[in-house]
Amino acid sequence: MITLNVNGTTHQVDADPRTPLLYVLRNELKLNAAKFGCGLGQCGACTVLVDHEPIFSCLTPISVLENRYIRTVEGLGTLEKPGPVQRAFMEEQAAQCGYCIPGMIMRAQALLEHNAAPSDGEIRDYMAPNLCRCGTQMRILRAVQRAAKAMSAGLDRSREARQ
């Protein structure tokens, strides 16, 4: 048994410790946002966050994840109440086929948690490991910029509310 903390919920998972996290997320926990793309850590469709860092869940055995904080798109918001990064991706219509988008959203989330106001160059560098084959990169870049603005505006509002 391995204990996994996913989006704040603790799960007891009975699986081989070598099993990649992606399979456990999708098959055991029915969290289907993260996608299987290449299975080789080359495309980024399976990106989730572990302790605030983006990782390829297809290449991460669950044995290394005990007592660590895993987040997936399901932890960022819901259809009715999307998180700021999800909302920005919708508003910019950043998805074409959509297969890469959950990975893109998670990597963008990590970027904005580390750097609230990234430059265009910083966004490009940080997002580089995640591939989109449809060609919506320009919309994805705009979505990340929009999310950055929305999140810092949100921070300002919450600061005002506290004062």
Partner 1 sequence: MRVIIGLVVVVAAAFAAFYAWAYHGEMPPERSSAAHFDPGAIAKGAQLAAVGNCSVCHTQSGGKPYAGGFPVETPFGVIYGTNITPDTDTGIGAWSEAAFRRAMRSGVDREGNHLFPAFPYDHFTKLTDNDISALYAFLMTREPVRQENRPLDLMGPLNWRLSAAAWKLLFLRQGAYEPDQTKSAEGNRGAYLVEGPGHCGACHTPRNILGAEKASQAYGGGVGEGWHAPALNAASPAPVPWTTEQLAAYLRHGFADQHGFAAGPMQPVVRSLRKVPNEDVRAMAVYIASLTGGDSQAAQRTQAALDFARQREAKPWATAGTEGRADGSAEREPSAGAAIFAGACATCHHAGGALPVSRPVALGLSSTVHAPDPTNLLHIILDGIHPPLGTAGPMMPGFAGTLTDPQIVALAAYVRGQFSDKPAWSGIDTTLSTLRQKPQPRAEAP
Interface residues with partner 1 (CB under 8 A) are 17-20, 39-42, 50-51, 53-56, 58-64, 125, 128-129
The residue (of 107 and 142) whose beta carbon lies closer to partner 1 is 107
Cα-trace Rg, the chain: 16
Q: Which residues of 88-116 are buried (b: 16+ CB within 10 A; e: fewer)?
A: bbeebebbeeebbbbbbbbbbbbbbeeee
The residue (of 11 and 87) whose beta carbon lies closer to partner 1 is 11
In the complex, the smallest distance separating the C-beta of residue 21 from partner 1, rounded to whole angstroms, is 9
DSSP string across 77-128: --SSS--HHHHHHHHTT--SS-TTHHHHHHHHHHHHHH-SS--HHHHHHHHT
The residue (of 20 and 146) whose beta carbon lies closer to partner 1 is 20
In the complex, the smallest distance separating the C-beta of residue 33 from partner 1, rounded to whole angstroms, is 19
In the complex, the smallest distance separating the C-beta of residue 13 from partner 1, rounded to whole angstroms, is 13
The residue (of 60 and 136) whose beta carbon lies closer to partner 1 is 60
N residues, the chain: 163
Helix or strand or coil: residue 49?
strand
In the complex, the smallest distance separating the C-beta of residue 23 from partner 1, rounded to whole angstroms, is 10
The residue (of 95 and 103) whose beta carbon lies closer to partner 1 is 103
Q: Based on the number of CB atoms within 10 Å of its own CB, is 51 exposed (0-12), middle (13-18) or buried (19 or more)? A: exposed
In the complex, the smallest distance separating the C-beta of residue 91 from partner 1, rounded to whole angstroms, is 28
